[in-house]
Structure 1
Amino acid sequence: MTITYEWRGDIENAALEALHAEGFGHPVGHTDWRGRLHRHSLGWVCARENGLLAGFVNVAWDGGVHAFVLDTVVAPGSRSRGVGAGLVAAAVEGSRAAGCEWLHVDFEEHLRPFYFDACGFRGTAAGLIAL
């Protein structure tokens, strides 16, 4: 099957909410993803297979040269096929085309091989406060 990637692709709230809930292990809610993305994001990437949402990544930004990867998620049936790396590659290109100079990502330790090896990120010193 062919996966297609679309920067700032049209998104249906219900489809993204279901994918996000399944990928991050929380109940399906009623998030207004379209409104949130249009208000706060530089862009996002939708991966589709046969017209269905197979993956998603959000790219937030500071309004300048820094962009931030958030919510990278791939549907279980599309995992281990390079979809996540394809999402991030499209996010890199979309961010670069928008004039960003840096793309940041935070992740849990078990995702280090994905972000460093498959996607090309490198380690930096950073800090975090749980709120």
Structure 2
Amino acid sequence: MTIIHEWRGDFDDAAPDALHAAGFDHPLSRTDWRERLRRHSLGWVCAWEDGSLIGFVNVAWDGGAHAFLLDTVVAPHCRGRGVGAGLVATAAENARAARCAWLHVDFGERLRPFYFAACGFQETTAGLLAL
């Protein structure tokens, strides 16, 4: 089956809601994804297979040189097939086209191999403050 990665793909809010619930193992949130993305994003990437949303990443930005990956998720049954790496590659390509110089991401320890080996990120020092 063919997987298509689409920059600023069209969807109804139920699709990323269901994907995030399955991918992050939490209840449906009923998020207004279109409004959130309209207000805060440079763009987003949808991964589709046979008309189903199987992957998603939001690309937030500062309006200048810095873009940030948020909400990266791949359907559990599609993991290990390059869907996530395709999401990140498409996000990077389009952030570069928008003249961003940096693409940032933060992640849990278990995702180190994915972001460093599969996606080419480099380790940096960063900080986090829980609010």
Is this a same-fold pair by TM over 0.5? yes
Cross-structure match for 1:35 = 35
AA of the residue aligned to 1:13:
D
Cross-structure match for 1:47 = 47
Identity of aligned residues (%): 73
SS state at 2:39 partner: helix
Cross-structure match for 2:15 = 15
Cross-structure match for 2:66 = 66
The one-character-per-residue Cα deviations of 1:69-123 (angstroms, maximum 9, x if unpaired) are 0111001121110000000000000100111000000000110000000000000
Q: TM-score, normalised by structure 1?
A: 0.98
SS state at 1:35 partner: helix
d(CA) in 2 for partners of 1:30 and 1:117?
A: 34
The one-character-per-residue Cα deviations of 1:13-71 (angstroms, maximum 9, x if unpaired) are 00110001111111012110011001100000000001110100000000101000011
CA RMSD of aligned residues (A): 0.6
AA of the residue aligned to 1:93:
E
Which consecutive unaligned segments of at least 5 residues does structure 1 have?
none
Q: TM-score, normalised by structure 2?
A: 0.98
